Amino acid sequence: MAPPNESKPTPKLAAANAAKGGPASSPAPCLFSLQDGELSVGGGNKAALLTGVPGNVTLTPFAEAFDPAASDAPRELAEQAAANARRGAFLGFTLPAPASRAPYRVGRLAGPRRFLSVFRFKTWWSTAWAGRRGRDLQMETQWVLLEVPELAGAGAGYVLVLPLVQGGFRSAIFPGDDDGVVICAESGSEAVTGTDFRRIAYVHAGDDPYKLMQEAYLAARVHLGTFRLIQEKALPAMADRFGWCTWDAFYLTVDPAGVWQGVSEFADAGLPPRFLIIDDGWQSVNRDGDPPHEDAPGLVLGGDQMTARLYRFDECARFRGYREGALIRRPPELFYDKSMPKAVVRKAAEIESTWKARKKAAQGGATDLSGFDVRITQLRRELDQLLVQRDAVLARLCDDGGAGAGAGEVGLKAFLKDMRRRFPGLDDVYVWQALCGGWGGVRPGATPLDARVVPARPSPGLAGTMDDLAVDRIIEGGIGLVRPDQADDLYESMHSYLAGAGVTGVKVDVVHTLEYVCGEHGGRVELARAYYDGLSRSVAKNFAGTGIIASMQQCNDFFFLGTRQVAMGRAGDDFWFEDPNGDPMGVYWLQGAHMVNCAYNSLWMGQFIRPDWDMFQSDHACAAFHAASRAICGGPVYVSDSLGGHDFELLRRLVFPDGTVPRCLHYALPTRDCMFKNPLFDQETVLKIWNLNKFGGVIGAFNCQGAGWDPLEHRVRGYSHCYKPVSGEVRPADVEWSQREDTSAMANAGSYAVYRCQTEELLLMTPHSEPIQFTLQPSSFELFTFAPVATISGAAKVRFAPIGLVDLLNCGGAIVDVEYGSGGEVRMKVKGAGRLLVYSDVKPRRSLVDGCEAEFEWGNGGKLMVDVTWKQEKDGVSDVAFCY
Confidence of residue 466 (pLDDT cuts 50, 70, 90): very high
Query: Residue 86 pLDDT > 70, yes or no?
Result: yes
Q: How many C-beta atoms surround the C-beta of residue 97 within 10 A?
A: 7
At 239 the pLDDT is 96
Residues 6+ apart with CB under 8 A from 861: 762, 763, 764
Q: How many C-beta atoms surround the C-beta of residue 697 within 10 A?
A: 27
pLDDT in tens, 269-300: 999 999 999 999 999 999 999 999 999 999 99
Confidence of residue 795 (pLDDT cuts 50, 70, 90): low
Give the integer Cα–Cα distance in Å for 492 and 208.
43
pLDDT in tens, 567-615: 999 999 999 988 887 788 889 999 999 999 999 999 999 999 999 999 9
Query: Residue 321 pLDDT > 90, yes or no?
Result: yes
Positions of E strands within 722-876:
726-730, 752-756, 762-765, 772-776, 781-788, 790-792, 798-805, 815-821, 825-831, 834-840, 846-849, 852-853, 856-859, 863-868
pLDDT in tens, 371-382: 999 999 999 999
CA 575, 576, 581: angle at the middle one, nearest 5?
Answer: 150
- CA quadruple 836, 842, 847, 849: dihedral sign: negative
Residue 530 in contact with residue 573, Cβ under 8 Å?
no
Q: State mean pLDDT over 132-139.
A: 97
At 117 the pLDDT is 98
Q: 61 preceded by cis ω (within 30°)?
A: no
- CA quadruple 632, 635, 637, 639: dihedral sign: negative
Query: Residue 6 pLDDT > 80, yes or no?
Result: no
Residue 454 in contact with residue 491, Cβ under 8 Å?
no
Give the integer Cα–Cα distance in Å for 706 and 716.
11
Give the integer Cα–Cα distance in Å for 185 and 277.
37
* Phi, then psi, of 581 in degrees rounded to 5: -95, 5
Instruction: Return the percentage of the chain with pLDDT > 90, whole number.
Output: 90
Query: In terms of DSSP H, where are the helices of 423-555?
Result: 469-477, 487-501, 523-542
At 69 the pLDDT is 85
At 400 the pLDDT is 55
**Mean pLDDT, the chain, whole residue set:** 94
State whether residue 356 is helix, strand or coil: helix
pLDDT in tens, 17-36: 544 444 445 668 999 999 99
- pTM, two decimals, is 0.95
pLDDT in tens, 707-725: 999 999 999 999 999 999 9
Confidence of residue 315 (pLDDT cuts 50, 70, 90): very high
At 16 the pLDDT is 52
pLDDT in tens, 742-751: 999 999 999 9
| Strands 242-245, 637-639: pairing kind | parallel
At 860 the pLDDT is 79
Q: Which residues of 48-74 are buried (b: 16+ CB within 10 A; e: fewer)?
A: bbbbebeebbbbbbbbbbbbbeebebe
pLDDT in tens, 165-180: 999 999 999 999 999 9
Domains of the chain: 32-225 (no CATH), 789-883 (2.60.40.1180)
Give the integer Cα–Cα distance in Å for 59 and 39.
9
Residue 549 in contact with residue 568, Cβ under 8 Å?
yes
Tell me the DSSP string of 446-482. SSSS-EEEE-----GGGTTSPP-HHHHHHHHH-EEEE
pLDDT in tens, 379-396: 999 999 999 999 998 888
At 793 the pLDDT is 80
Residues 6+ apart with CB under 8 A from 90: 58, 59, 60, 61, 62, 65, 164, 198, 199, 200, 201, 202, 203
Query: Residue 401 pLDDT > 50, yes or no?
Result: no
Kindly calculate the radius of gyration of the chain based on its CA atoms and give it in whole angstroms: 28
Q: How many residues does the chain have?
A: 884
Give the integer Cα–Cα distance in Å for 147 and 142.
17
Return the amino acid letter for 814: A
Give the integer Cα–Cα distance in Å for 789 and 818.
12
Tell me the DSSP string of 204-249. EEES-HHHHHHHHHHHHHHHH-S---GGGSPPPGGGGBEEEESHHH
Query: Residue 13 pLDDT > 80, yes or no?
Result: no
Give the integer Cα–Cα distance in Å for 451 and 438.
12
User: For residue 700, which of 834, 810, 617, 600 has the smallest C-alpha distance?
Assistant: 810
Tell me the DSSP string of 43-96. SSS-EEEEES--TTEEEEEHHHH--GGG--S-HHHHHHHHHTGGGEEEEEEEEE
Return the amino acid letter for 687: L
Identify the bridge partners of residue 48 per DSSP, sorted by sequence position: 40
Give the integer Cα–Cα distance in Å for 381 and 298.
11
